[in-house]
Structure 1
Amino acid sequence: MRAADPPSPRPAIRRAGPATAGGRPPRATTAILVIACTAQFMVILDVSIVNVALPAIRTELHLGTAGQQWIVNAYTLGFAGLLLLGGRAADLVGTRRAFLAGVTAFTLASLVGGLASGGPLLIAARAVQGVGGAVLAPATLTLIMRTFTEPAARTRAMGAWSAVMAAGGAVGGVIGGVLTEYAGWRWVLFVNVPIGAGLLAAALASVPAAASAPAGLRRLDLPGAVTVTAGLTALVHGTIAGETHGWGAPHVWGSFAAGVLLLAAFVAIEARVAHPLVPLAILRRRTLATANLLVLGMGAAAFAMWFLLSLYFQQVLGQSALGAGLSFLPGSLAIVVGAQVSTRLIARTGPRPLIVTGMTISTAGLLWLSRIGDGGTGGGGAGGGGGAYVSAVLVPFFLATLGAGLSLMPVTAAATSGTAPAEAGLASGLVNSSRQIGGALGLAALATVAAHTTAARATGNTAGDLAAGYGRALLIASAFTACAALGALALPGGRRKST
């Protein structure tokens, strides 16, 4: 009989230390998360922070209605048109390089915009801001994905990044109001300069350098990026110019024709180039294509609503910039509430019911808001008496933004569901681009509708005429969200499959 082997020594029990990500110490990963979240907050904040400052900018720089729109749209178009290219840049030339380039462009453009003495320079600076944001925003997400490789750590990091992104969009009006009221409108741009400088220093110290892909720059689809951005800009320009020069003017139709031809050239380039910005095959997927169409309508309604209400608060209700910023607080809160609710429910319901419900609620809120042209012209508001604001805006604005918050995350989840891991970034980028493109086109169209309605009414009651124009535009915005609610029914039903 074989003697029993002596018991082997028990391995020493190793106590787990603090969770790390990607083999880096906790302090390093925390620093990278803070850098990524701060940069994303800055980029998203600048989508909305200038809205409340628009009347002050218009007065000082002697801008017209079209100039006001371009201050917003120049940033949006630069951001949307180059967002996919920015995402590819982070993959091909290195995340650190893309991040530093994006922060540098964004910060310098903010400084130039704050110093601008005229509308054209300010609009150009806003466009460069958008380009910088298009490079920076994808780099922040890529930085998180590459730093946090463990599933639990990545989930927590993505949650923080998403929360900061929602907060940036929600509080832009409030921060813009405070800065405009107490420091002047130029500080809605200057505020980015110290933040950008701090991000540059922190990134140089904390973000590790990574080798870029060989010949990475040569694989960027620059012709595709140029044609899609120029085409969208031409369409927006034609929409805005139609109000100024008349819809039958050759200048207007020439702009529309150029836009269509440039977008057709973009499609032709994507079909032939070796490394397309948007592989056309991905657009044949029903769920992805449907989700992007929904986001176009959602973005058109949302961007126009925030723009029009910022003017309504100040030009009709007579609020100060600070009062207008505070008037946006209920909507900011509603977006956060809606986003939290959808995050908790989507695993049980799937995206479709949440999008349908959210867009239905938004439609009801926008329909109600459209009545501001029938009697919401009394003085005051939040910070100025409050009567007209409470009776005409508060509840419907809360509903419109609550519905948007319910829908934002589910529509992104729908767009990215069923995609391969290598295509998840592309699908997400398409959704973000569609939201910005829809916002730019919707803002141009609905602001033009508002201006035309106001001019046609011309009763002599300036506040009433303006309110009528804003009400008509908000009514059309409700049609966009109603179409999104109906279109969401085409999405597949059921819960998301766990991965």
Structure 2
Amino acid sequence: MRTAPEPRHRQVPGAEDTRTEPAGGRSAARPGLVLAAVAVVQFMVSLDLSVVNVGLPQIAVGLGFSAVGLTWVIHAYALTFGGLLLLGGKAADRYGRRPVLLLGLVVFGLASLVGGFAQEPGHLVAARAVQGIGAAAVAPAALALLTSTFPTGRARVRAFGIWAAVNAAGGALGLLIGGLLTEYVSWRWVMFVSVPMALGALALAWRAVAADPSSVRGGRPDVLGAVLATSGVSLLVFGVVRTDQYSWTSPATLTTLAGAAVLLAAFVYVERTTTREPLIRIGLFANRSVAGANVYNLLVGGALASAFYFMSLYLQRVLGTGPALTGLEFLPFALGVVVGSVLAVKLGYRLAPRTLLISGGLLTAAGFAWFGLISPDGAFVTDVLGPSIVASVGFGLCLGQVVSIGTAGVASHETGAASGLLNSSRQIGASIGLAVLGSAAQHRTGQAVTPAALNDGYALGMMLSAGLLLAAVLLALTVLRRTGPPSQAEQTEWTDDRDPLLVRD
């Protein structure tokens, strides 16, 4: 079915025109607005993963958190976000991406508003948990919209480049924004700042995304599978994030992780044998691109979250930098990711995504290894600026590619599930990576709190982050299939002289 007038478009011979799919294809009528809505959503979700970090000391004083209780300001969001992403992806596939996206934005915005008015520690932790629930709905729905709106060609390369830039910039700028708000306004604004972004994304999505019916035909939902998957992933993340209190070999940790393993094994069994519609088709993991992209994403997520953590502590606890200046000194990283993402768009017309994954991973690993040379008497210019630029440009090169690979070739009715997997793998990787590398750094530091001892621990953590990136590169070399650059037909798919992302009906 065609609308009139339609952008001039040349179909790739033998390829299905996925933009006419009944479930989500109508959203492609306004690709520029769809991309804008997805960008705001992803920036908001990424920013919320880091915006509170710099303000934690002031939050502890303002609400009376204990040292242990304060960590749950971070973990409450991570647990619900990481644990419910698969369910959010399935909901987007089953009930439509538009309603799930809009509902998730409402939940996220309200939770941010309530959290800003918190009067007790429990209030803020609960608000952060509800924020995670909203994020678990909007993240896979938005990524599924991006995948279906830009299925092939130059438009897809550019769209994923923009998505990659705002995704990483949100995480990096969250530290800057959090530091400035905490020092010059109030820690409460690290919660309030998400409210206008949620309202803006809601307005864009309401206008740009057409109402789409359920893309799932019949079938009863696999409620048991949803409960097992969500509970298993949540318990896994819960067990890992508590290793700062209980060692990896403690009965509490071993029992928690064993329970998570049992729940996840039961989930796999149910998904293979259920007569209902499975939460995620196990056969999806037989796709080497999907499986490889998710493991790559898990390793990169662990490395990046750990690097942010160690560098924030190095700047504040070793170099004595204040919250606002610490956030400002992360700005080169955010700008570097944007530069890397722009390069990925330019190079994506000529190079295969796998090539950019490998190149970007190697460059990021080099930057993290350079970070590992920090010294207790160092300075931002000599110890932080150079590694930030190298690592961020490399990360920008590979971020959009891993998403493009992980969703390419997936049936339209499974794009939400595939998108949820990618978001979940990165979030779980961040939690597991930070817990493991943080424990290693703490072991190296010991009980000493001198700048030299702390520096040794942080340097080790950065070197281990580089090791995770090298493991991801090795995975890309051995698991992901070799593909050539985009074909000439794909490169010239959009022959209109206007920007394909701005074409309207």
Residue 484 of structure 2: aligned partner = 495
Does the alignment pair 1:468 with 2:456?
yes
Residue 415 of structure 1: aligned partner = 406
CA 1:17–1:246: 2 relative to 1, 3 Å: closer
**Larger of the two Rg values belongs to structure:** 1
CA distance in 2, matches of 1:214, 1:16: 30
CA distance in 2, matches of 1:152, 1:494: 16
From 278, 281, 284, the equivalent of 1:279 is: 281
CA 1:365–1:58: 2 relative to 1, 3 Å: farther
From 396, 421, 433, the equivalent of 1:430 is: 421
Residue 473 of structure 2: aligned partner = 485
The answer to whether the 8 Å contact 1:78/1:130 transfers is yes
Q: Give SS of 1:52's match.
A: coil
CA distance in 2, matches of 1:246, 1:17: 61
CA distance in 1, matches of 2:411, 2:29: 32
From 172, 177, 196, the equivalent of 1:175 is: 177
Aligned partner letter, 2:310:
L
Aligned residues: 470
Q: Percent of counterpart pairs with the same letter?
A: 43
Does the alignment pair 1:399 with 2:401?
no
TM-score by length of 1: 0.82
The answer to whether the 8 Å contact 1:358/1:406 transfers is yes
Q: Note the C-alpha offset of 1:28.
A: 7.5
Residue 334 of structure 1: aligned partner = 336
Instruction: Judge which range, 476-485 or 53-62, deviates more.
Output: 53-62
Counterparts in 2 of 1:122-271, with a 5 A limit?
122-143=124-145, 161=163, 163-200=165-202, 208-212=210-214, 219-271=220-272
Aligned partner letter, 1:481:
L
CA 1:170–1:95: 2 relative to 1, 3 Å: same
CA distance in 1, matches of 2:53, 2:380: 18
CA 1:201–1:337: 2 relative to 1, 3 Å: closer
Aligned partner letter, 1:253:
L
Instruction: Judge which range, 105-114 or 231-240, deviates more.
Output: 231-240
Q: Give SS of 2:245's match.
A: helix
Q: Note the C-alpha offset of 1:480.
A: 0.9
Q: Give SS of 2:350's match.
A: helix
TM-score by length of 2: 0.81
CA distance in 1, matches of 2:424, 2:85: 6
Structure 2, unmatched stretches of 5+, are 10-18, 491-505
Residue 41 of structure 2: aligned partner = 39
CA distance in 1, matches of 2:156, 2:249: 54
1:162-189 deviations in whole A, cap 9, x for unaligned?
5543442342222222222221222111
Q: Note the C-alpha offset of 1:145.
A: 6.5
Residue 451 of structure 1: aligned partner = 442
1:440-486 deviations in whole A, cap 9, x for unaligned?
211222223333433x242x52x333323222222222221111122
Q: Give SS of 1:348's match.
A: coil
CA distance in 1, matches of 2:27, 2:75: 42
Q: Note the C-alpha offset of 1:95.
A: 3.3
Residue 503 of structure 2: aligned partner = none
Residue 16 of structure 2: aligned partner = none
RMSD over equivalenced CA pairs, Å: 3.5
1:344-373 deviations in whole A, cap 9, x for unaligned?
22343312332222222222222222233x
The answer to whether the 8 Å contact 1:291/1:414 transfers is yes
CA distance in 2, matches of 1:427, 1:100: 20
Q: Note the C-alpha offset of 1:69.
A: 4.4
CA 1:419–1:496: 2 relative to 1, 3 Å: farther
Q: Note the C-alpha offset of 1:439.
A: 1.0
Structure 1, unmatched stretches of 5+, are 1-14, 379-386
Q: Note the C-alpha offset of 1:50.
A: 2.0
Q: Note the C-alpha offset of 1:282.
A: 1.4
